[in-house]
Structure 1
Amino acid sequence: MADDRQGREEQEDREENRQRERELEEAKARGDEKEPLFDDESVRLGDLDKALKSHDYPTTTTELVEAYGDYELETQGDKKPLEDVLSSTNNQTYDSAENVRRRILGLIGR
């Protein structure tokens, strides 16, 4: 009769090996993807993220530039003040900090 414990351990070892192989294949498939600048959006926006959360909404692009235009944002390979980032947009109205955050991240992700 086969040792049940030994059989279970061998089966666990085989499953662990298959899992490692799957992870390696997945990593190879993602190898050509660009790494994000930051995993957490609030880190990418720095102190501006906190300021946006406490800002009164609705607000406009003009009001945001007046209040936070000097805040420096990390862009791809550079830093830019919020005023420069939002300069390409018309005077839009934002209902929440999340709306502003998405717009800014879309603009600096270019």
Structure 2
Amino acid sequence: MAEDRQGREEHADREEERQQERMQEEARSRTDEEEPIRADSGERLGDLDEALETHDYPTTTDKLVEAYGDYEIETQGGTETLDEVLAATDNKSYDSAYDVRRQLLELIHH
């Protein structure tokens, strides 16, 4: 009987260790997930947010600047035009409004 009790305790200990390992693995796998677009992206991007929805994709940085370069975006330091925000980037390709928003929000938050 003592062996059964000890065996159950060892089994429970191993199960707890496996659970801990599963939780750590899950946490590691989540670091690769994309961060969701912040709910305030429409506020930060102003009228540009709606314009991006109706733009034809795929598109490039150059085409976005040509079409919307004067649109103002709220940044941590005030406001900047789309042209100013994207000035530091190379000419990239974007497949959707989501991709453009993600790029812009990364640029204005850094």
TM-score bracket for the superposition, by shorter chain length:
0.5 to 0.7
Equivalent-residue separation in structure 2 for 1:49 and 1:72 (angstroms): 11
Q: Which runs of 5+ in 1 are unaligned?
A: 1-37
Gapped regions of structure 2 (runs ≥ 5): 1-37
Distance in 1 separating the partners of 2:91 and 2:101: 16
2:88 — aligned with what? 88
Q: CA deviation at 1:80?
A: 0.5
Q: CA deviation at 1:41?
A: 1.1
Whole-angstrom distance in 2 between the partners of 1:70 and 1:105:
17
How many angstroms does 1:78 deviate by? 1.4
The answer to whether the aligner puts 1:98 opposite 2:98 as a matched pair is: yes
CA RMSD of aligned residues (A): 1.2
TM-score of the two chains, using structure 1 as the length reference: 0.64
CA distance in 2, matches of 1:81, 1:44: 12
Q: What's the CA shift string for 1:44-80, capped at 9, x where partnerless?
A: 1110000000000000000000000000111102111
Taking only the aligned residue pairs, the percentage that are identical comes to 60
Q: Secondary structure at the match of 2:74?
A: strand
2:57 alignment partner, SS class: coil
> Number of residue pairs matched?
73
1:68 corresponds in structure 2 to 68
